[in-house]
Chain A
Amino acid sequence: MKLLAAILITTMAQIGFASPITLNGAGATFPYPLYSKWFSEYRKKAPDVQVNYNSIGSGGGIRQFADQTVDFGASDAPMTDEQIEKVSGKVVHIPTTLGAVVISYNLGDESSVDLKLTPNLIAEIYLGKIKKWNDPLIQKINPGAKLPDRSIVPVYRSDGSGTTAIFTDYLSKTYPDWKSEVGQGTAVKWKAGIGGRGNEGVTAQIKQTKGTIGYIEFVYAEQNHLPVAAIKNTAGQFVSPSVAAITSAAQGKLKEIPADFRVSITDAGGKKSYPIAGVTYLLVSTELQGEKGKKLLDLLRWIMGPAQQYSAKLSYAPLPKSLIHRVEAKIKTLKVK
């Protein structure tokens, strides 16, 4: 009997020793393809840590973080002052990667056009003011392009999303009437078009329906071989989305990034900057506890280091070096109780 008990205890101890520490996170869908790559790579590097990430959306990530049901949250939009107050200010925003929202389109089978767009055109299409692809305003920006006589169908995200937040933030900055007519947020009241659920829903709509235009995350356009428009930036250049163009946008905004890293990098200066880009964050508590806290800090350090190399392959841009140094300094100030 004693022997049996001894065996039982040792086995349990062994299981206890071998079972990894689980870090639970939830939030943004925008960086999900990258995060799932990261967390599976991290498992190989640190077998004693298992990271579970639920891509339930930024809003859900912030809610769960505030309710303390997860070890870290994730969000594309930084928390608002009101939300930070709700958690009594006990939150640190850790920027992890940069992504772009691209404008994709389907002109129909007759034409393959490399479309150029200005923020004004995008806004007026989404406000329902420009209704046809061969509108003189579009033709003027795209001289020589064969634009069809077809209705434009704007496609938007029907679910609340960080992608929408970045897109509407950009239009609020660049088109004066956008702010009063639609505004900025994860879900807004659209004036025209149809809604697709998730990046994949919008992508499917664009692929399926002639005359559509839609905003999606860069990687979805790449993987589905959809055409993407070059957008006019503040320097007056038409820039197509690329990893370099996203990093350039972050560099253009570098000086404006405050100590808590809450920043919008849309409409960034710089000739090579792609203007519809965003930072995505992990939300971490300032009061980390125990073994979990230590492991979480290890994970954050790894994300600032080796993890950055995986970004470009999945059409995200690594953080600029100088920003990484600032974030690393911030991580050092985090203490585990």
Chain B
Amino acid sequence: MKETHLADRIFGWCLRFFALASMALLLGIVVMLFQQAWPILSQDGLSFFLSKEWNPVTEEFGALVFIYGTAITSLLALLLATPLSIAVALFLTDVSRGWISKIISVLVEMLAAVPSVVYGLWGIFVLAPLIRDYVQEPLANSWGDHWLFSGPPLGIGVLSASIILAIMITPTITSVCREIFNSIGRNQREASLALGSTRWEMMRISVLTSSKTGIFGAVTLGLGRAFGETMAVTMVIGNRNEIATSLMAPAQTMASLIANEFGEAVSSLHLAALSGVGLVLLLISLVINLIARWMVRNEVRV
């Protein structure tokens, strides 16, 4: 082995320490949450995840309502954000390459820099009244009895929360997609043009088809962000602990529940249940992020 300078070695050890510390931090959070949640997990076992009842007064706690709320708002957000993000990314890489592209690209990334509480305020004061007056009221008048649209038009609820989330995850998905589209070689594009394909066919065949996994990864990354989003969702979702089939109904996500109830939770079982919900949220987010990273990495390398 080469003899190294003492300072170099100390520096190396420092870096190693910090790298390990970040790992220990994550592990510590998981262990701590598990420990805090243990009273409810040991008492209720699996039924903690499957019960719909959440009643702090009688100390019955089940996380299903919030797992559902998180899942439904995130999935709806993906449904809205994915086509939009792919279209924007395609525009940036294959349609416009001049200054318009630069401006749009900066603007989209700026969306990610808006603090989520600002999204929340905008949601309450601008989006919710718009949705109520122009979407929900007409729907309630014509389709009001349908399970998907039942309930009074409030503006806030599942639909508003999903739209806010969609806006918030669009920059994530767009920028990852743009990277992936850029990583596809020029010659692949030129080859398909040379074979006589139109511009759209070129995009479809040589760009979209070959980056399927990458797009999926980008979307999953967006899903990870949507899962954990707290403040904006709390402000527009209506915070109701119930499984709602209607797009107009208020609901509650895992993150918004913790934000809502942690401050005033006094009984130890209530705190344990909130930690339990936090643990579920953390583990799901970790898994989603790992999957997404793995997919994107494989793609960009090709």
Contact = CB atoms under 8 A, between A and B. Distances in A.
Interface of A: 56-60, 62-63, 83, 151, 153, 158-162, 182-190, 193-197, 201, 204-205, 208-209, 211
B125 interface: yes
Interface string B151-175: 0101111000000000000000000
B241 interface: yes
Interface string B207-239: 000000000000000000000000000110011
A185 B58 CA distance: 10
25 contacts: A56-B263, A59-B264, A151-B152, A158-B234, A158-B256, A158-B260, A159-B261, A160-B261, A161-B264, A162-B264, A183-B55, A184-B57, A185-B57, A186-B264, A186-B266, A188-B55, A188-B57, A190-B240, A190-B241, A194-B157, A194-B239, A194-B250, A195-B240, A197-B239, A208-B129
Contacts of B250: 194-195
Nearest to B132: A209
Nearest to B53: A189
A189 B241 contact: yes
Contacts of B155: 208-209
Interface in B260-288: 260-261, 263-266, 270
A190 B124 CA distance: 22
At the interface, is chain A mostly helix, strand, loop or mixed? Answer: loop
Contact of A196 (B53, B239, B263): B239
Nearest to B140: A151
At the interface, is chain B mostly helix, strand, loop or mixed? Answer: loop
B152 A159 contact: no
A38 B102 CA distance: 53
A83 B240 contact: no
B264 A159 contact: yes
A229 to B, nearest CB: 20
B239 A195 contact: yes
Contacts of A153: 152, 154
B128 interface: yes
A134 to B, nearest CB: 15
Nearest to A204: B124
A59 B54 contact: no
Most central of B56, B264, B266 by chain A CB within 10 Å: B264
Contacts of A161: 264
Contact of A160 (B124, B234, B260): B260
A182 B57 contact: yes
Contacts of B54: 189
Top 10 closest pairs, chain A to chain B, by CB: A160-B264, A195-B239, A158-B239, A183-B57, A59-B264, A57-B263, A194-B238, A189-B55, A151-B152, A59-B266
Contacts of B265: 59, 160, 187
A211 B152 contact: yes
Most central of B129, B156, B256 by chain A CB within 10 Å: B156
Contacts of A190: 240-241
Contacts of A193: 240
Contact of A59 (B125, B234, B263): B263
B233 to A, nearest CB: 11
Contacts of B256: 158
A197 B261 CA distance: 10
B266 A63 contact: yes
Given A159-B261, A194-B154, A209-B132, 7 more contacts: A160-B260, A185-B57, A187-B260, A197-B260, A205-B156, A208-B124, A209-B155
Nearest to A195: B239
Contact of B57 (A56, A63, A189): A189
Contacts of A184: 57
Contacts of B264: 57-60, 159-162, 186-187
A57 B55 CA distance: 19
Interface in B79-94: none
B229 to A, nearest CB: 15
A57 to B, nearest CB: 4
A188 B260 contact: no
Nearest to A58: B264
A59 B270 CA distance: 11
Contacts of B156: 194, 205
B74 to A, nearest CB: 20
Contacts of A208: 124-125, 128-129, 155
Contacts of A83: 266
A83 B268 CA distance: 11
A56 to B, nearest CB: 6
A187 B263 CA distance: 11
A160 B274 CA distance: 13
Contacts of A201: 235
A112 to B, nearest CB: 21
B57 A195 contact: no
A181 B54 CA distance: 13
A49 to B, nearest CB: 27
Interface in B116-137: 124-125, 128-129, 132
A209 B241 CA distance: 20
A196 B208 CA distance: 43
B125 A189 contact: no
B89 to A, nearest CB: 35
A106 to B, nearest CB: 12
B52 to A, nearest CB: 11
B266 A62 contact: yes
Contacts of A57: 263-264
